[in-house]
Structure 1
Amino acid sequence: MKRSLTLNSGAEMPIIGLGTYKLGLIEASQAVSYAIDAGYRHFDCAWFYGNEYNVGYAIREKIKQGVVKREDIFVTTKLWNNYHDKDRVIPMLKESVRNIKVGYVDLFLMHWPFGFKEIEPLWPLDEGEEAYSDVDYLETWEGMEEGVSMGLAKSIGVSNFNEEQLERLLENCKIKPAVNQIEVNPNMNQKKLIQFCKERDVMVTGYCPLGRKEYAGSPGFPDPTILDPKVIEIGKKYNKTAAQVILNYLVSLGISVIPKSVNKERIIENFDIFDFELSEEDVAYLDSCNKNQRVCTMDEFKTHKYYSF
């Protein structure tokens, strides 16, 4: 099984990365440190997560210790929705590069296709449509392209774009997006969108690959497959956990995945998925788990003209 994917920019993106959403500051440094020791070389962060400095600190420490070199590491960060104006993109990218302090980022993503006004809160739940910015994501993309020519980002891409939005971007860009980062898990396997991206030489990174166990049992919320007794049974057959089975299945779709954990054992476990192959029968069962149900719906902003779901 391959360990990395070649992006249309020529960069190599490791298949397994560490997600850092909702990691506290100390947790983020600790998790990245554990992950580098376990073999991870791909780290997914975002300006919005508020922990870029801590992710970068752990990477820099491991570089200082001689455990890794900068060129071994693949760092992703993202532009938040309040900064979609073209002239705000480079200042925000520079801020992220300053936060992470490893010279440049390997991949810079537009976090969502829809934007908010800069003066509004980062998560404007109470402000209604007044908070929406009507900046076209094509304009935002022009700013991101400048980030490549300035050497601040090696590759650029998008996140949470649907087929129509991605097609429109591809028809109007100078630099093709290298990646579309979307939710992918057995409840939402995104096979159609993954195929669409592959046909256009855009790689997919899957976030929330294990669902969100903490919301299991909530009304209208898909039960994560990690708790499915049948998936647990499949794991026993290969001497693997349910999480390892799911990650192996998702990687077999030709995507990269960014499971999040702060637990050292689970971080190690989530990386240890390359030494087995699921039978056709087991793959068919995981395929059958697809319900097209999202963990991350962003329903609060569904009236925005660039809402993607």
Structure 2
Amino acid sequence: MAAEDETPDFFPLLAFGTYKVGRSSDPNTTDKAEVLRVIRDAVQAGYRAFDCAEFYGNEVEVGEALWASWPKEDRGSLYVIGKVWTSTIYAGPDAVVKQMEQSLRDLQASYFDLFLIHWPVPEKKHIEAYKALMPFVGPAKPIRRLGLSNYTVADYTELVAELDGLEEAGKAVVRPYSNQFEVSPWLYRQKTIDFFQSEGLKLQAYRPFADGRLLSAEKMPLEIRKIAEKHKTKPSRVLLQWIQKKNIQALPKSCTKERIVENLLDVNDAKTMEFLLDKDDLEVLDSMHKSEEYEATFKKNYVKCIVRDTPLAGSITVDGITDWHDG
């Protein structure tokens, strides 16, 4: 039996993204007052899950803000997600474990509900990182669930082959619980989504609004505008429900109180639901995938980020990867 099997399986379908919170004006420094304001607004609005990461550079401030807004003795009512960055993954297993522990201290959290390998760093570095974290997973351990982020089917297959080998050798393993990657109507990798869900993994969707482009007055597709008007709701809420209807956790982020409140939509919480997308709406949104978004945004970002901040930077090309699964 895997170590995490005894952990209750609670997976919220909405989490608040903390990327760039406190760093909107200067990416190299964190505005503590802004972090406190944004996290307080999110907690007061009703968010209980928070997506954090080493790379975001604001874990100390997010931790202070969380516990200034929520009682520490009620830690169990919050869902805290963490991630280890590429440079640490490349540095090796010891660095990965130390960073996980440092992130817990920075966030003032006694444990992570979910901890992720942020990117699948090549040369099996991501596998070494994953294996290093397995002993720390369990119902009374620093990590309750261990997952992945930005993994392609090929990356996942490589990891699973390693875990299968360990299991065949009689060693206990922790199977990946989840995978977080970009999902929006413009970047809808249905084959990849279907594959991971068929494997039993929970999925998380960042950039649900395509970096705000799907909501901008200039670029908002007519299809989204019409669906929002039909249901007398905001376009952002249409997109969040579309994602959650696929049993995928949505990760909206905003530093504006009005938007923070607007984005509070959870299909499992009737109080946040004032409309329901119908079959026709879902089919329209499913059909909006743009091949140029897949080629120019996803593929190029993937080959850049899997080696970002490592000695391997620039060594991977789009043409050098033959199995993209979705084409």
Partner AA of 1:81 in structure 2: T
1:87 partner SS: helix
Distance 1:167 1:9 in 2: 25
1:282 partner SS: helix
Residues 1:214 and 1:281: Cα distance change in structure 2 (over 3 Å): closer
Provide the residue aligned with 2:260 in structure 1: 267
Task: Indicate conservation of the 8 Å contact 2:17/2:252, yes or no.
Answer: yes
1:60 is displaced (CA, Å) by: 0.9
Task: Indicate conservation of the 8 Å contact 1:213/1:224, yes or no.
Answer: no
Partner AA of 1:289 in structure 2: M
The answer to which of 193-202 and 251-260 deviates more is: 193-202
Distance 1:298 1:208 in 2: 14
Q: Are residue 69 (structure 1) and residue 74 (structure 2) matched? A: yes
Provide the residue aligned with 2:201 in structure 1: 202
Structure with greater strand percent:
1
Distance 1:69 1:87 in 2: 31
Provide the residue aligned with 1:119 in structure 2: none
Task: Indicate conservation of the 8 Å contact 1:60/1:102, yes or no.
Answer: no
Q: Are residue 146 (structure 1) and residue 139 (structure 2) matched? A: no
Provide the residue aligned with 1:113 in structure 2: 120
1:227-306 pair list within 5 angstroms: 227-272=220-265, 274=267, 275=273, 276-292=275-291, 293-294=293-294, 295=297, 297-300=301-304, 301=307, 303-304=315-316
2:11 partner SS: strand
1:34-183 pair list within 5 angstroms: 34-64=41-71, 69-84=74-89, 85-114=92-121, 134-148=123-137, 151-173=141-163, 174-183=173-182
Provide the residue aligned with 2:212 in structure 1: 213
Distance 2:86 2:77 in 1: 30
Distance 2:79 2:189 in 1: 24
Task: Indicate conservation of the 8 Å contact 2:43/2:70, yes or no.
Answer: no
1:143 partner SS: helix
Aligned CA RMSD, in angstroms, stands at 2.8
Q: TM-score, normalised to structure 2's length?
A: 0.77
Distance 1:89 1:282 in 2: 43
Residues 1:200 and 1:252: Cα distance change in structure 2 (over 3 Å): same
Provide the residue aligned with 2:192 in structure 1: 193
1:271 partner SS: coil
Residues 1:273 and 1:70: Cα distance change in structure 2 (over 3 Å): closer
The answer to which of 53-62 and 245-254 deviates more is: 53-62
Distance 1:226 1:46 in 2: 30
The answer to which of 76-85 and 270-279 deviates more is: 270-279
Partner AA of 1:102 in structure 2: A
1:153 partner SS: coil
2:145 partner SS: strand
Partner AA of 1:270 in structure 2: N
Provide the residue aligned with 2:310 in structure 1: none
- In structure 2, list runs of 5 or more residues that go unmatched: 23-29, 164-172, 268-272, 308-313
Task: Indicate conservation of the 8 Å contact 1:19/1:259, yes or no.
Answer: yes
**Identity percentage of aligned residues:** 28
Provide the residue aligned with 1:184 in structure 2: 183
